[in-house]
Amino acid sequence: MNDETPAALLAEIALDDVARLHADLVRRANDLVDVAYRTLDTPVGPLLLARTAQGLVRVAFAVQDHDAVLQALSDDISPRVLEAPHRLDDVARELDEYFAGRRRTFDVPLDLRLLHGFRRVVVEHLPDIAYGRTESYADMAHRAGSPKAVRAVGTACALNPLPLVLPCHRVVRSDGSPGQYAGGTEAKRRLLALETGALAA
Amino acid sequence: MSVKQPFERVVVAHGPTVLRVCRAVLGAADAEDAWSETFLSALRAYPDLPADANVEAWLVTIAHRKSIDVVRRAARQAVPVADVPDRPAAHDGRDLDLWAAVAALPEKQRHVVAYHHLGGLPYDDVAALLGGTAAAARRAGADGIATLRTTYPDIDGGRR
């Protein structure tokens, strides 16, 4: 903007106008959007949900800093990132059902492109742990075929790009305490309580 | 080192500016079409834009090209009518007089006001876009603002 520009010319553009134009842009952009995202309010705080043409690529908790996560998606996948809530309607619906206790597994297509090597092996085994059950980091190391890689399993769980959907919250310490979680220990406790029906209504 | 932001942030940061530019160039009725075309085109080309580019200047330049397209398309589709229809009112009625006053400016003045005063393009860049010299662009812009001060006396008031 210019100092010499008369104030009236810079009058605020109505937010409604920009919101409507944004929605129209999303509708017309079709295949040009490489990463579509939305946020969803849940009992464990607002979640960022992001998907590519292949499927859900990222779920992030507020404590992970949604702006930073979007920047990382932009850097790692494509800067063609747009907030496009309707493109994540199916994911939001399944998560709503999960938090309401009406869903135990997720059916949405996943895009695992952010996962490589051993981390990918570990994360792909997470759905082997049934709803309402837990396993230790050592158990997961066995499942992943590297019994000694207990610490690496912890790292893989901490960096899981698809928490909740790929249930790293079901991996706990060998003494049964919840242990670390990307969404915070309290969120992990709450998810485990939800799945064992121990959550007060 | 510059980091390229997610495109969503580009829309949020520069969407209002581009809409002002389009309104000044085309009037409220056609501005939204040009805005959409601008951001669609920008979204397509964004991965190839250098990370240290001036994103707003880039968008304003695209908006200029898309505005020309909108004008050309309107001219092609123009059908002679017995009565000239009323100008469509800005949908909330706000600032209608302002944009009418801008629309009444001679084209060169209107374009300089749009791209320099609203779009933030330096006069050199405006001249490159419109032809002529930077000095001529500066004069046209000053004349345009002077005219607006008489045709729209509230212009320095920042009415909302």
pLDDT digits (tens, 9 = 90+) for B132-155: 999 999 999 999 999 999 998 888
Co-location of B67 and B127 in the same domain: no
Looking at the structure, tell me whether residues B76 and B2 fall in a common domain.
yes
Task: Please give, rounded to a whole number of angstroms, the shortest distance from the CA of A141 to a CA of chain B.
Answer: 36
Pick from B81, B104, B139: which residue ends a domain? B81
Is A146 a residue whose pLDDT tops 70?
A: yes
Confidence of residue A169 (pLDDT cuts 50, 70, 90): very high
Residue B24 within any structural domain of the chain:
yes
Do B119 and B151 lie in one domain? The reply is yes
Most A CBs within 10 Å, among B7, B117, B150, to test the A interface: B7
Query: Between B7, B152, B155, which is nearest A80 by CB?
Result: B7
Residues B13 and B73 in one domain: yes
Same domain, B71 and B106: no
What ipTM does the predicted assembly reach? 0.91
pLDDT over threshold 70, residue A2: no
Query: Rounded CA gap, A19 and A138, in Å?
Result: 49
| Long-range Cβ contacts of A15-23 (<8 Å, 24+ apart) | A17/B19, A17/B32, A18/B15, A18/B16, A18/B19, A21/B15, A21/B19, A21/B32, A21/B35, A21/B36, A21/B39, A22/A83, A22/B11, A22/B15
Tell me if residue A198 falls in helix, strand or coil. Answer: coil
Per-residue pLDDT at A187 exceeds 50: yes
pLDDT at A52: 98
What is the tens place of the pLDDT at every residue in A91-124?
999 999 999 999 999 999 999 999 999 999 999 9
Mean pLDDT of B71-88: 67
| B41 neighbors B66 (Cβ within 8 angstroms) | yes
Q: How many CB pairs (< 8 A) connect A and B?
A: 115
Are the beta carbons of A120 and A152 closer than 8 angstroms? no
B87 domain residue, yes or no = no
Phi, psi (degrees; rounded to nearest 5) at A35: -130, 115
The answer to whether position B16 is within a domain reads: yes
Residues B100, B27 share a domain: no
Q: Are residues B24 and B76 in the same domain?
A: yes
Per the domain annotation, does B105 fall within a domain?
A: yes
Mutation target to probe the A interface, by most A beta carbons within 10 A, among B17, B43, B48, B111 is B43
Domain of residue B128, CATH code: 1.10.10.10
- Which A-chain residues 95-154 have CB contacts (< 8 A) with chain B? none
pLDDT tens by residue, B50-62: 999 999 999 999 9
Asked which of B46, B81, B116 is the last residue of a domain, the reply is B81
| Average pLDDT over all residues of chain A | 93
Residue B43 in any domain: the answer is yes
Domains, chain A, with CATH or none: 117-200 (1.10.10.10)
Residue A158's CB is within 10 A of a number of other CB atoms, namely 14
Q: Which structural domain range is residue B61 located in?
A: 1-81
Q: Does B75 share its domain with B125?
A: no
Q: What is the pLDDT of residues A50-68, one digit of tens each?
A: 999 999 999 999 999 999 9
Q: Based on the domain organization, do B63 and B135 belong to the same domain?
A: no
- At A119 the pLDDT is 95
What total number of domains does chain B contain? Answer: 2
Question: Of A65-74, A174-183, B27-36, B73-82, which range is least confident?
Answer: B73-82
Same domain assignment for residues B39 and B77? yes
Residue A40's DSSP bridge partners are A47
pLDDT digits (tens, 9 = 90+) for B85-116: 454 444 444 555 788 899 999 999 999 999 99
- Asked whether the predicted pLDDT for residue A128 surpasses 80, the reply is yes
Q: Would you place residue B82 in the very low, low, confident or very high pLDDT band (cuts 50, 70, 90)?
A: low
Would you say residue B117 has pLDDT above 60? yes
Do residue B7 and residue A25 have CB atoms under 8 angstroms apart?
no
Backbone angles phi, psi at A123, to 5 degrees: -65, -35
**CA distance to A121, B34, B42, B49, B120, per residue, from B59 (Å):** 43, 11, 7, 11, 11
Q: What average pLDDT does range A13-25 have in this prediction? A: 89
Is B147 in the same domain as B74? no
pLDDT recorded at residue B57: 96
Whether residues B76 and B99 share a domain: the answer is: no
Check residue A105 and give its pLDDT: 95
Q: Of A35, A69, A168, A172, which is the active-site residue?
A: A168
Distances in whole angstroms, Cα of residue A7 to Cα of each of A131, B138, B140, B141, B153: 59, 19, 19, 15, 12
Contact present, A26 and A82 (Cβ < 8 Å): yes
